Amino acid sequence: MSSFKMFWFSSVAAVFVCATVAYSQNANQQNGSVNQFIGSLPNGYTVVEGNPLRLDPSDLCCKGYLPTAFFFNKSAPYVAFNVQDLPSPLSLFQGLPIFQLRADEAIVLIGVTPPATKYFSYLPYLLMRYYPPDTTPKPIFASVGDAINVDTVKTLGPDPYNRPLVLILTPDKVTDAQVRAALHTAGYPDAIINTLVFSAPRLNLGLDTTKDDYFVLLHRLAVPTDPAAVEAYLDAMGSTDVTKRPLRVFRVTPLVHSALQPFSTPSLRVRGTGRNEMDLTQPLARLRQAILDRYKDNYNYTEYHSRHIAYVGNEFIQREVNTMADNPDALYMGAGYLPIWDSEDDLTLGENDFLIVYGPRHDSNRKATYMNLNVYASDLGLSLVSVYGDSLNLSAYEYLGQKDPAAGLMYAYQFARVGHCTTSAFCTSLEVPDDCTPWCPQKPCPPFTLDPSTKLGLFIRSYLEPQTRTGPAASELLYDQVIKFSPK
């Protein structure tokens, strides 16, 4: 087993007989006993405790463990849950904490929600699937249903932060009922128990590595109120004392198969409110012209139009295409070189070139809880810069002036090479992590460098429309746009 695999799996422990230890977490809340929960399950059930693991694809890619960073958001932490020592049949996902699941099993998270953040969620993914007649699985990385998120999670208290949480991931009603009954006996109130339905009718469940689906379960966090508190929450995930982890994860398995009662596929939350941003069409045109007028004497320009990408996991599962971890709580707009999503514009950045991304402030317009911009080295899916909505404040005034009534509802933000953020106060440099040498099939692997031939792609993320508690509808947003400027 490689050192990376040992890193993921070294502390997985089977739990069958436990001493009575009251469960308590950093929120100083006691809402039941883990050991009593395990002891209250019916005879014939086994429980294996796994590990919550902080997942940083950019770091893993640059350290040579992964061939891609999956276009993950550079500045939004992720946690994955290891419940099975299962190698990946594809090098793309080598070493990740993947699992398969029987139709009568459950994965149970017990702990507390994160400290205050604008967004957090728990969402399972179909990572790989065998599509007949293929004998090798295809990478899919598509969401399976809706997430349980900051606006939908069941917990106690006036807000959802640092609150007690139980989450059951299962395809089966009988297993769900048995797990819930054991949780109630152990002192966990129904008010904190969430079931994340694993949709058996559309999944190939089972433990056959030659035909059944592979999955991963992700916990996302974004825009913390207190970054240090969130760092402490994430660091505690790896505690060797399991009672000090903010989340504990268990795999619950009946030893004897009973008659299955699979959940039907849940309805998805519906995107869209009917309210749109189209009244900003003319102000956006003014902003575009003001940007061009600012630089027209010294720069040539090329425009790149964005489009919505990775819209819904169901589509990509049916198309047999890798969506690289879509999220139904978000609308992703993409531009540039993103061939996975059928965008193949040849976007590169020379030493003295720069990009300006501009558009409506979807968060200020109440079409999103937060928005975020990332620029990627597309061949690696590696983020070179990540900027959140707060950094966009007042940026359109630089071009429209303070007297334009629409300037506060829009943004214009610049990205440039290191040392070349010189023409705007609203600019961030593209930066390659130190000692970045991604995995490659033939060793030694070359280090990654950003040069004028590096193909770039952009993501503009809009997360969680407040009214619908899911991602905004593409038809209701005025699309963000990109302009590249090059010296004449």
How confident is the model over 444-472, as pLDDT tens digits?
Answer: 999 999 999 999 999 999 999 999 999 99
State the pLDDT at residue 30: 58
Retrieve residue 392's tokens. Answer: 């966009």
Percent pLDDT > 70 in the chain is 94
State the pLDDT at residue 12: 38
Q: What's the predicted TM-score (pTM) here?
A: 0.93
Q: Give the CA distances from residue 297 to residues 57, 291, 351, 424, 426, in Å, rounded to whole numbers and listed in that order.
A: 41, 12, 19, 16, 20
Beta strands in 19-173 (DSSP E): 45-49, 51-55, 78-82, 106-112, 117-129, 138-143, 148-149, 164-170
Percent pLDDT > 90 in the chain is 90
Retrieve residue 450's tokens. Answer: 């950003």
Q: DSSP letter string over 106-123?
A: EEEEEEEPPSSEEEEEEE
Comparing CA positions, the residue from 69, 41, 42, 67 lying closest to residue 55 is 69
Residue 163: φ, ψ to 5°: -115, 155
Q: d(Cα 332, Cα 307) in Å, to the nearest integer?
A: 8
The residues with which 55 forms a beta bridge, in sequence order, are: 78
Q: In order of start, what are the domains of the chain with their CATH numbers?
A: 3-254 (no CATH), 278-487 (2.60.120)
Between residues 464 and 13, which one has the greater pLDDT?
Answer: 464
Residue 214: φ, ψ to 5°: -115, 145
Residue 389 DSSP one-character state: G
Residue 94: φ, ψ to 5°: -60, 130
Q: d(Cα 291, Cα 424) in Å, to the nearest integer?
A: 11
Contact yes or no for 194/168 (Cβ under 8 A): yes
Q: d(Cα 372, Cα 386) in Å, to the nearest integer?
A: 7
Beta strands in 171-230 (DSSP E): 193-197, 214-224
pLDDT tens-place string over residues 273-326: 999 999 999 999 999 999 999 999 999 999 999 999 998 899 999 999 999 999
- Overall average pLDDT of the 89-104 stretch: 94
Q: d(Cα 16, Cα 97) in Å, to the nearest integer?
A: 22
- Overall average pLDDT of the 365-372 stretch: 97
pLDDT of 116 above 60: yes
Comparing CA positions, the residue from 455, 366, 452, 346 lying closest to residue 409 is 366
Q: DSSP letter string over 245-299?
A: -SEEEEEEEESS-----BPPPPPPPPP--S--SGGGHHHHHHHHHHHHHHHTTTE
